[in-house]
Structure 1
Amino acid sequence: MLWFLTCVAALIGGYFIYGTFVEKVFGINEKRQTPAHTQTDGVDYVPMSTPKVYLVQLLNIAGVGPIFGPIMGALYGPAAMLWIVIGCIFAGATHDYFSGMLSIRNGGASVPSLSGRYLGNGAKHFMNIFAIVLLLLVGVVFVSAPAGMITNLINEQTDLTVNMTTMVVIIFAYYIVATIVPVDKIIGRFYPLFGALLIFMSVGLITAIAFSSEHQILGGFEVSDMLHNMNPNDMPLWPALFITIACGAISGFHATQSPLMARCLENEKNGRFVFYGAMIGEGVIALIWCAIALSFFGSLDALSAAIKDGGPGNVVYSSSFGLLGVFGGIIAFLGVVILPITSGDTAFRSSRLILAEYFNMEQKTLRNRLLMAMPLFVIGGILTQVDFGIIWRYFGFANQTTAVMMLWTASAYLLRHNKLHWITTIPAMFMTAVCITFILNNSTLGFGMPMQISTIIGLVATLAITVYVIKISKGKGETDLADEAKPAAGATETA
């Protein structure tokens, strides 16, 4: 229990100490008008209160990632918790802060436009393709996962029999509506309530296991275990752990979501609470589920068996009902189901806005929103027929690669403004090495090369990319911040 509380305390401390430092390096301007005011359109650019924006941001970024990822990462032992804490403070929350604040400084621009501005047109075209692919994968994952979980809940707890295809159709229908209506009609109105439910669910589960007579948080593990790979399936910790646990430590998906709330934030001074703070909140959720996975089943072998039996969703189902009983289990389980649904719709919404920026198409009219959204749903519907496990593996790699691009974009920005770029460059270098090593070594998704060779190539490539970014960015002297307030393509400036 002490380890868990120490990890949570470290995350909270990271928000107040390192988060304040990151904010100072960026340099906020409280008198500067945000896109929510300068580009108000009643659809995507809508001023909303800070607590509401925070809860929506938390739900947008917290899909099944901070639950499924830590559950599967728990197979590596307590080392997973160490990565969540370090990754969240120094990489993930910093990544989210810059993806949100750079969007604000650039008129609500999406991540491809930001990459294009600070890394060049090549990066922009790459990110346009990569971000759309990632968001489609997210949308599909966040249709299949909740559809399967709801189907399982209904079939197990009631006399009804529901077909999973029916649930997929229902969720897709909701996504279509939520993607095209103004942001304050569904997302801004109901998601803060869902955010409160998420927090209540997480606190309830960890409290239940803390006072359980049958289970002990992290019982049986030693402090030294945090430095060892304890995976019962002999899976290598490097680099797989850092791909497996994405949301909760660092996630490129968040870079596609932060601009949604950057278009609604009323003042730059609220950016640390909304962007950095929401990631810290997701880190706490990830710690809770990692601790539950390490504690509820009694051993890593038993956890591994539970995952093989029904995936991480089975772990959620078993622990929720095992710790909270039928009524509490249903509430907790529904809290988990809400996460992917509230991230899936915003994934498609982000895709629509990225395409709108690319084609320079305004989104105030319903016709244009439908024109951008419907092809995405057609492709997403086709991808739901692909095996979930395959989609999840590609999602993990695409997710972390997007995070790498956003971190390098932030580094280029800081270099251009002669600010301390190492706060983003160091995590960018680490995650670049992770992604390159993973794709070279992995035999299913990548090239199946030996680990040692993959790692060496990953490190050399990382060094070369670092030199390149510093060379193209340093000394450009982009100090005219007024230019950064230009509206994103596809938006209408009304101020």
Structure 2
Amino acid sequence: MNSLVLLLTGIILFFIAYLTYGRWLAKHWGVDVNKKTPAHTKFDNVDYCPADAKVLLGHHFSSIAGAGPIAGPIQAAIFGWVPVMLWILIGSIFIGGVHDFGSLFASIRHGGNSIGEIIHANIGQKGKKLFNVFAWVTLVLVVAAFTDICASTFAFDPSKPNVLVGAQAGTASILFILLAMVFGFLVYRRNAPLSIATVFGVALLFLCIYLGYTFPVLKLSKLQWQIILLIYITVASTMPVWLLLQPRDYLCSFLLYAMLIGSFIGILVLHPTMKLAPVTSFNVKGQTLFPFLFVTVACGAVSGFHSLVSSGTSSKQLNSEKDAQLIGYGSMLIEGIVAIIALISVGYVMKAEGTPAAIFASGTATFMNSFGLPLEVGKVFVILSFSAFALTSLDTATRIGRYIFQEFFEVKEDGTRSPLANMYVSTIITVLCSLGLILYGYKKIWPIFGSANQLLAGLALLSLTAWLARRGKKTIMIVIPMVFMFAVTLSALFLIIKSYLFGAKPNYILGVMAIILFILALVLIGEAYKTLKGLGKDGNKSIKA
């Protein structure tokens, strides 16, 4: 199969979906370009801060992309490229895009509050607490998995002194973080014109890549990188969004755009043939296509983490509701393109050896080598892009984990504020809990992360269903994806529990976590069912928001 056909098919279908289904959703939900967003009504210049649509697109896309749309499809390719491709297309258009767009819009209409607060308003206090616990545990898994992936990507092996790709990408990444902070200071505190600052910022970004490639001074072990990354996310997640989050994610988006364009041109020139089998087997090494294909692809088609980004940071920065479709629905479709390129990469090299970043870099750098980019330079560039997205997801996940932890302990029963609601205390607790799971490595964490992440998407869709029902809106476009996601993820969690607790190599900690997530989800579904059943009996409960 010619991979160019796959890529063009994906791009064309996504473009049509954005213009048709995306616009239909915006019209049906009632997007109002004249309504002020929380970024203006609750402006505080720390979390609530209006951003230009281009800047916010960069932040949102970089945050949701992370390592997921690359690592997921590559690991799911064990089932063959056809089922992975079909799920990326169907999932991105009808489930992931709807989920992301809906979460962003619902958060805007609830004052920029999180999905937990939306559940509180539409299902009840008990539902909110259950969801917040579930979401926080999922974020701990996100931080643990992505920290391990980043550390593995940057690690230098002294026994292979000539292999410097990790050290080069790690050095460039640190330089990039410093550049982003300078960019943010100049744009938001010295009022430098965004257009001029962007030109210089992107030029200096590629200078960082050159310096990292030429002078890879950070030759650190995986453990050393894990420590550095944990310190970084602790600090970064408490900094004002204008100083690091917005500028870094905005500049980071240009890395991805360059990688996407380079990959497209490379595939156009080389038009590599998919060497991977279209379909392998329904059962591969004990993992069945249903449900594990869907939870393994994860962010490449739908991700509950996206709802936390949409309602955690992006809704607080949206300048106008007219940007909601671009940021919410559009970003998910672009992520789907990244997932297709990742699938083509592993389909071309036809083997999954090394980290997902190494596999992706090998394939993509080969594509770009077809138009003259040196292979080794291409690998460093792709790995840097991959790690930059993973880093954005890392500190965004930590920041959102802090938000949720603070919400949970915001007010004690006597009306006073709990010390656990302190910004720094909640951040440190979140990071320390992730530290306890990092030792397992991303390969062991990924199945439960994928299941929890997809189940979180189902719960976010559940909250949207309740909200739309209260507004007297039709919910069919939410209910069908929600039911499917619950069927997939509850099945996956059941099999994971069985494997972790009663398998040949039991893992009791992850097994107990899976049980907790399974029970929380069932109880929350029960709470939502009672609410929706009540709405069906009493039409007067519909509200406008």
What is the deviation of 1:230? 7.0
Q: Does residue 218 of structure 1 match 2:274?
A: yes
Report the counterpart of residue 315 of structure 1 in structure 2. 359
**Equivalences for residues 41-440 of structure 1 within 5 A:** 41-77=44-80, 78-152=82-156, 156-157=163-164, 161-212=219-270, 216-218=272-274, 225=278, 233=285, 235-259=287-311, 260-297=313-350, 303=351, 307=352, 309-323=353-367, 324=369, 325-360=375-410, 368-440=422-494
The code of the aligned residue for 2:272 comes to Q
What is the deviation of 1:205? 2.6
What is the deviation of 1:383? 2.6
Whole-angstrom CA distance in 2 between matches of 1:190 and 1:387: 27
Whole-angstrom CA distance in 1 between matches of 2:157 and 2:56: 31
CA contact (8 A) 2:361 2:382 kept: no
Whole-angstrom CA distance in 2 between matches of 1:476 and 1:375: 43
Distance 1:194-1:2 versus aligned 2 partners, 3 A rule: same
Whole-angstrom CA distance in 1 between matches of 2:33 and 2:24: 17
Report the counterpart of residue 444 of structure 1 in structure 2. 499
Distance 1:356-1:235 versus aligned 2 partners, 3 A rule: closer
CA contact (8 A) 1:439 1:445 kept: no
Whole-angstrom CA distance in 1 between matches of 2:127 and 2:55: 33
Q: Deviations over 1:448-474 (max 9, x none)?
A: 8xxxxxxxxxxxx99x96965641333
Q: Does residue 8 of structure 1 match 2:11?
A: yes
What is the deviation of 1:435? 1.3
CA contact (8 A) 2:535 2:542 kept: no
Distance 1:476-1:168 versus aligned 2 partners, 3 A rule: farther
CA contact (8 A) 2:7 2:340 kept: yes
Distance 1:174-1:99 versus aligned 2 partners, 3 A rule: same
Report the counterpart of residue 188 of structure 2 in structure 1. none
Q: Deviations over 1:168-193 (max 9, x none)?
A: 12222221221111111111122111
Report the counterpart of residue 198 of structure 2 in structure 1. none
Whole-angstrom CA distance in 2 between matches of 1:28 and 1:241: 34
What is the deviation of 1:445? 4.5
What is the deviation of 1:393? 1.9
Indicate the SS of the match to 1:265. Answer: coil
Q: Does residue 40 of structure 1 match 2:43?
A: yes
CA contact (8 A) 2:145 2:441 kept: no
Distance 1:358-1:232 versus aligned 2 partners, 3 A rule: closer
CA contact (8 A) 1:209 1:217 kept: no
Report the counterpart of residue 177 of structure 2 in structure 1. none
What is the deviation of 1:149? 0.4
What is the deviation of 1:250? 0.7
Report the counterpart of residue 473 of structure 1 in structure 2. 535
Whole-angstrom CA distance in 2 between matches of 1:202 and 1:61: 16
Whole-angstrom CA distance in 2 between matches of 1:229 and 1:476: 49
Number of residues paired by the alignment?
A: 451
**Equivalences for residues 478-489 of structure 1 within 5 A:** 478=541, 480-481=543-544, 484=545
What is the deviation of 1:151? 1.1
Q: Deviations over 1:239-264 (max 9, x none)?
A: 11111111021100111111211001
CA contact (8 A) 1:91 1:427 kept: yes
Indicate the SS of the match to 2:303. Answer: coil
What is the deviation of 1:90? 0.6
TM-score normalised to structure 2 length: 0.77
What is the deviation of 1:166? 1.3
Whole-angstrom CA distance in 2 between matches of 1:199 and 1:184: 22
Distance 1:177-1:220 versus aligned 2 partners, 3 A rule: closer
What is the deviation of 1:372? 2.4
Report the counterpart of residue 20 of structure 2 in structure 1. 17
CA contact (8 A) 1:147 1:164 kept: yes
The code of the aligned residue for 2:451 comes to F
What is the deviation of 1:476? 4.9
Where in structure 2 are there 5+ consecutive unaligned residues? 168-215, 370-374, 504-521
Q: Deviations over 1:95-137 (max 9, x none)?
A: 0011111111111111212122222333212111111111111
CA contact (8 A) 1:210 1:217 kept: no
Whole-angstrom CA distance in 1 between matches of 2:33 and 2:268: 42
CA contact (8 A) 1:416 1:477 kept: no
Distance 1:471-1:232 versus aligned 2 partners, 3 A rule: closer
The code of the aligned residue for 2:124 comes to G
What is the deviation of 1:320? 4.2
Distance 1:477-1:60 versus aligned 2 partners, 3 A rule: farther
Whole-angstrom CA distance in 2 between matches of 1:51 and 1:153: 39
Distance 1:290-1:469 versus aligned 2 partners, 3 A rule: farther
Report the counterpart of residue 514 of structure 2 in structure 1. none
Where in structure 1 are there 5+ consecutive unaligned residues? 298-302, 449-460, 485-495
Q: Deviations over 1:176-220 (max 9, x none)?
A: 2211111111111221111110121133134324423xx724368
The code of the aligned residue for 1:238 comes to F
Indicate the SS of the match to 1:444. Answer: helix
What is the deviation of 1:288? 1.1
Report the counterpart of residue 458 of structure 1 in structure 2. none
Distance 1:139-1:477 versus aligned 2 partners, 3 A rule: farther
The code of the aligned residue for 1:293 comes to V
TM-score normalised to structure 1 length: 0.84
Distance 1:480-1:31 versus aligned 2 partners, 3 A rule: farther
The code of the aligned residue for 2:66 comes to G
Whole-angstrom CA distance in 2 between matches of 1:357 and 1:247: 26
What is the deviation of 1:73? 1.8
Indicate the SS of the match to 2:300. Answer: coil
What is the deviation of 1:32? 1.6
Distance 1:229-1:13 versus aligned 2 partners, 3 A rule: farther
Whole-angstrom CA distance in 2 between matches of 1:316 and 1:237: 22
